[in-house]
Structure 1
Amino acid sequence: MGRPSKKEERTEQVLQAFQRCVARYGLDGSTLERLAEESGLQRSLVRHFVGNRDDLVRLLAERVVSRSDAQWQELLQMLPKQQAVPVLISFLFDYDASDPELIQVVSSLCFASGQDAYLQEKMQAWTNRFIGDLATILKGDYPKASKKQRDAVAFGLASLYLNLDSLVSLALVSQYRASAKLAAESLVASLKA
């Protein structure tokens, strides 16, 4: 009887190492040599377990989007059925749950999507789901507001949230958190008019 396959374990090891590399060096700077060093595997084994560079980038995008979606779904499950928007704004802007490594990876994937149709589709879908979910939550609390208004506010909330996250590497999140929350509340208040 042969020994059990280590493919799943090694693939996860490589993806974790690739995520750390991308956070540090960006996609272009995350060479197979750096990845091999970070993962503790030979370069040939890295390729054996994850395939070529395109395969590796796609696996990373799938991993990041899948984990992000799972966390987002958990948050959505915690929202009350009524008056969900104030709780949502608190979740988005009161807590420092930012993961600087993940933020860098998402930024790198979004930047690279301009040159990779698969990445572009994946990151567009991820962004559109987020904004669409925000619009749905807004509809629950503000059913009389027009769809156009709710969509605009959803986009504004997403923009504020993602921009606040982008300030993590600059160590400016705490400085602008209260302003981002106030801006988000102001956007939502426009739906009452």
Structure 2
Amino acid sequence: MSDDDDLRLCPLPDEVSLLLAELAAPPRLVAHLRLVHDVAVRLVDWSAEHCPGLEFDRAAVLFGAATHDIGKAVHRAELSGPGSAHEPAGRELLLAAGVAPELARFAAGHATWGPDTGVEDLLVSLADKVWKNRRVPDLEDLLVAALVRAGGGERWEQFLALDELLTAIGDGAEERLAHQALFPTS
């Protein structure tokens, strides 16, 4: 991707870049995955520093963020319109490429969460929302609860800390959205 240096985006994992090339993924999809992955890096780094007792698989979160919409390589209309057909398709693409089911799950489950959702899945879902400054209180509350359970202090303290982080991330959303729009959907 060109112009990424302007945003100083973290690179996608090599195995994801190779897979996207093999799928001839549209440039807009690659840009989107890179933007969400970059936000996920910020979320996992903050989570690890802010609440050392919170256990999660950093590599899984980053892989999940980097591949969550990979099914849009097949369902390209969903790059610029609504739809959820990309979710199971993405999981199947990843499984067919030899990706472990515990990593392929992010493609199928990034749009749903609940009280039993694991921290890794919450972080991928949150990255997919907050990169464009979309705040989802129910999702954020689940992460706050996980932080508190991990010994991270009082609920209100965790809420305020997470809110501060997400507000800071959201402040860059306009630039990220403009960057993504530079890339064609085909």
Verify same fold: TM over 0.5: no
Report the TM-score when normalising by structure 1.
Answer: 0.28
**Structure with greater helix percent:** 1
Query: Which structure has the larger Rg?
Result: 1
> Which structure has more RCO (C-alpha within 8 Å, separation ≥ 6)?
2
